[in-house]
Structure 1
Amino acid sequence: MSKWKIYTPEGVQDILFNECYLKRNLEVKLRSIFRSSGYQEIETPTFEFYDVFSEDSDMTPQENMFKFFDQQGRILVLRPEMTIPVARISATKCKDISVPVRYSYIGNTFNYNELGGGKQKEFTQAGIEMVGVNTPEADAEVIATAITAVKAMGLESFQIDIGQVEFFKGLMEEAGIADNDIEQMRVLIDRKDFLGVEELVKGQDIKEDLKELIFSLPRLFGSIDVIEKVEKITLNKRSLNALNNLRKVLQILDDYGYSKYVSVDLGMVRSLNYYTGIIFRGFTYGAGFPILSGGRYDSLVGKFGKSTPAIGFSLGVNMIMIALDRQKIDTEKPKIDTLVCYMNEGRKAAFKVAQELRRQGLAVEIDVACQGVEQLKGYAASKKIGGIILIKDDENIEIHNLETGEASKVTFAELIRHD
C-alpha cells in the first residue's frame, strides 16, 4: 500500500461528524443573516485564471497561490480569496444592475502559506460585499452585519478594531515621505514596531509635532476619544476628512447599539494599494488570528473595467469554530432521536412510522442489521439514542425508553396519533 494513501496533505483536514454538523449549522446561520439584510448569494469558480488575482500582489502574493495549467498552457489558480472574484463579476456580469448591489458568499478558499495557529491551506470564507455606494452609512452597515453574524454564531466576547487608511496616507503626504519609505512605514506601524517607526522617522526632515504624531501611531487605539485627541494637532485636509468619516461610522454603529463591540485603531494600516478608506478586523480570545477582516476598496472593481466604490468583509468559519471550542461555548451536536426495528410482519408499518416521525422533524434510524432489541440497546447507547421502537405488526408495537429502562406497548394508530 502506498505510504501516503491513508493520509491527507499538510494544511488540509477531514471534518468529521460533530465538527461538520457545527460547521454546516454556522453556515446556515450566516446565510440567514446575509439574506435577511438583502445580500444575495453568489458562487464563483473554485479555480480561475491567474490574471484575475495578479493585479493585487499586495493582497494575494503569487507565492501564496496554488497554481496549475490548463490544456492550453494558461496559468490557473485555486481562488485564494473571494473579494476579487466579486469585483470581477461586478464590473462584468453585474455592471448594469442598480446600485447598491449587495453580494454574499460562502465557499472554500486556498492559500499555500496559511498554516499554523489553527490556520489551514484550505478554509471556508463567508462574507458580504456592497458595491456602488461610498457613504458612512454603507460602511457602518457592513460592519454592523459582521457584528450581527459573529453574535449569531455564538460568540459574545469579541472586538472589531476600525481604522482609516486615508488618515495614514494624509500624514505621509504632509510629511513628504518618499513612496518607498511609506510602504516600510506601513509595515512597521501595522506590526506595532515602535522602535522601527522611530528609527525610520528620525532620518526624515519632518516638523516635530507631526513627527511625534507618527511616532505615536502604533499607540493610537481605544475609544472615539482617540479621534478627538488627534484632531487637536494641526493636520492636512486629507487626514481630517478621514477622521471625520471614521467618527460618522462610529456614531452610526452607536445607533445600531454596537458601540461596545468596536474600538478605534489609527495604527491599523493594511495594504495601501488595495484599501481606500475604512478598514476593520475582528478579534476574539482563543483564536490566534483575526476571525474577520474587511474594508473599503474603491479602486479594485475599476481594474476589471468599471470604476465603482465598494466595501465588504470576509469571515473565517474554521477560525470561529476554533474560538467556540477554546472558549468552551456549548454548541449543538448531531443526534438520533429514535431507532426503529421490526419483524417481518411489521416491516411495512415500520417504514410508515419512520416516515411520519421524520416528517415531524425527528431524526430516525431504521435497523438494517436485523438485530434483536437487546443487541440494539448497546448500539443505541453508544450513539446516545434515547429510545427504540420495535414493530412486530400493526397491533403490536413496543417502545423502549433507554433513559428510564421502561417499555410500553401501543398500536400503530396510537403511536402515530400520540406523536
Structure 2
Amino acid sequence: MANKLLHTPDGVRDIYGVECTKKAALQEKMLKVFHLCGYQDIETPTFEFFDIFNESRGSVKAKEMFKFFDRDNHTLVLRPDETPAIARCAAKYFLDEDMPIRLCYIERTFINNSSYQGRLKESSQTGVEFIGDDSADADAEILAMVIKALKAAGLTEFQVELGEVDFFKGLMEEAGMDEETEEALRALIENKNYFGVEELVMAQPISKELKQVFLKLPELFGSLEQIQAAKELTSNPRALRAIERLEEVNRILEHYGLSDYVSYDLGMLSQYLYYTGIIFKAYTYGTGDYVVNGGRYDKLLEQFGKDSPAVGFGISVDELLLALSRQKIEIEVSVVNTMILYEKEARENAIRLSGHFRGAGMAVQLQLKDPARTLEEYQAYARRRNFNNLLFLDRSGFTVRVMNLVLDRTEEIPLSEYLK
C-alpha cells in the first residue's frame, strides 16, 4: 500500500530538479517573445463551469473532460482548452472594447485521453490570443510569433503547416452532406486516408467535378504553388476566397522574412470545430505529435456575448521539451552547484559568506553540519546532488576549506579573502 501511494495516475508525471528549471526557462523565453510583440498576461481558473467548454462551443468532446460537482451541484470541469476560457474572459472584461486586444498565457490543460494514446492528460501550454482583428495581417502576426517563439526556444529545424478550413467548408456547403457524413469525411481527410475518402465520396449524390475535388483534397499540401493549383479544381466562391487568404498571408510573411518556415495543406482540419479561417500546426522531429496548434475562431466569442473575430495558438511545452532533448539542444540554465557547510559556532560567518555569493548573483546552498555526520558523508551527498564545490567552515569560522569535487582538490582560504 505504501508503494502504491508513491505512484501517479496514468497521464500525469512529476517534474523536478534541472528538468523543472529548464521547463521554466523555456516558458520564460517564449513569454519574452510575446511581451516584445505587445501581448499582456492573462490567467484563467483551473476549473470552470462545464458549459464554457461543452461540445456546442466546438471544444473537446465531453467524454474527454475531467468533470466533477461542487456542493451546489454545478457541473465543473478541469480546463481542457485555453481558448474558450479566454473567450469568456474577453467577453466579460472587454465587452465594450471595439479595438484589438492581445493576451498571452502560461497554463495547464487537462484532457482525459485514452491511456493507450500515450499522451499526457495534464499538459503545460503557453500561447497567445489576438482578439478584435479579422485581417490577414493579424493572421501573419500570429504565425510570425509562432516561428519566433520556436526559434527562441532553440529549435532550428521545424515546419509550420498552414491550412484554411473555409476551403473544406465551402465544398461541404456545395455538397449538402449531412453532419454524420461530414464528420466521417473530415476524419478521413485529416488522416490522409485516400481509399477511405474515395469510398465515401463516390457513394454521395454529388457532381463528378465536386467528387474530384474531394478526392484530391488529401493531396493538396506542400508549397504555395501546389495550393494555388487547387483554384483550377473548383469554382466555389468560399473555397477560392480561402486560397486567396493564404496567398495574402504568405505575402505578409515574406515581409517578416519568415515565409520559408511555412508549408500549406488544404486538407488540414481539426478536432476543434470553432475554427473558421486559417488553421495551423507546427512540427519538428523528436516528437510524434505537433508542438503548436492554432487558428482563427471568429464566431467563438459571439457565443459569450461579444461579437469579435480572434486568432491564436498554443504551444505544447511538454512536447517541445521532448523534441529539444531528443535533438540534443541544450537549454542553458543557472543551477546551484556550490554548498556552504558550517558548524554551529561558525553560523554568523557562514551566513555572511552566503550573502556575499548571493549578492553577486551566484546560487549557493547553506547547510548546518550535523555533528553525527562526517565530512566525507557531506561530500558524497554533494556529488549526488551534482554540486561542483563544497565550502566548509569549521567552528573557528575564519577559514574556508574549499573542496573542488570535480577536480578532487582541496585548499584553505581565509574568510577575509572572500569578504574584503
Give TM-score, length-normalised by structure 1: 0.92
Shift of 1:5: 2.2
Q: Measure, in 1, the Cα distance between the counterparts of 2:250 and 2:226.
A: 12
Match of 1:396 in 2: 399
Is 1:412 matched up with 2:390? no
Match of 2:261 in 1: 261
Shift of 1:162: 0.5
Match of 1:65 in 2: 65
Is the deviation greater in 404-413 or in 304-313? 404-413
1:274 and 1:297 in contact (8 A); partners too: yes
Is 1:169 matched up with 2:165? no
1:227 and 1:247 in contact (8 A); partners too: no
Q: Measure, in 1, the Cα distance between the counterparts of 2:58 and 2:398.
A: 72
2:343 and 2:368 in contact (8 A); partners too: no
1:117 and 1:288 in contact (8 A); partners too: no
Match of 1:142 in 2: 142
Match of 2:244 in 1: 244
Counterpart of 1:122, as a letter, is E
Q: How many residues align?
A: 417
Shift of 1:290: 1.4
Shift of 1:89: 0.8
CA distance 1:372–1:195, change in 2 (3 Å): same
Counterpart of 1:149, as a letter, is A
Offset from partner CA, 1:154-202 (integer Å, 9 cap, x none) = 2222211100011112222334444543333222211211112112221
2:400 and 2:412 in contact (8 A); partners too: yes
Is 1:287 matched up with 2:290? no
Offset from partner CA, 1:274-333 (integer Å, 9 cap, x none) = 111000011122212211111001000000011110011111111112222222333346
Shift of 1:35: 1.5
Shift of 1:205: 4.2
Match of 2:25 in 1: 25
Is the deviation greater in 283-292 or in 217-226? 283-292
- List alignment gaps of at least 5 residues for structure 1: none
Q: Measure, in 1, the Cα distance between the counterparts of 2:417 and 2:109.
A: 52
Shift of 1:113: 1.6
Q: How does 1:140-289 map to 2 (within 5 A)?
A: 140-271=140-271, 273-289=273-289
CA distance 1:379–1:176, change in 2 (3 Å): closer
Shift of 1:8: 1.6
Q: Measure, in 1, the Cα distance between the counterparts of 2:114 and 2:293.
A: 15
Q: Measure, in 1, the Cα distance between the counterparts of 2:114 and 2:291.
A: 14
State the 4+ residue runs in structure 1 displaced beyond 6 angstroms. Answer: none
Q: CA RMSD in A?
A: 2.3
1:118 and 1:288 in contact (8 A); partners too: no
Q: Measure, in 2, the Cα distance between the counterparts of 1:59 and 1:179.
A: 17
Counterpart of 1:265, as a letter, is D
Q: Which secondary structure does the structure 2 equivalent of 1:239 belong to?
A: helix
Is 1:89 matched up with 2:92? no
Is the deviation greater in 2-11 or in 159-168? 2-11
2:26 and 2:153 in contact (8 A); partners too: yes
Is 1:380 matched up with 2:382? yes
Q: Measure, in 2, the Cα distance between the counterparts of 1:42 and 1:115.
A: 31
Match of 1:353 in 2: 353
Q: Measure, in 2, the Cα distance between the counterparts of 1:204 and 1:263.
A: 31
CA distance 1:71–1:176, change in 2 (3 Å): closer
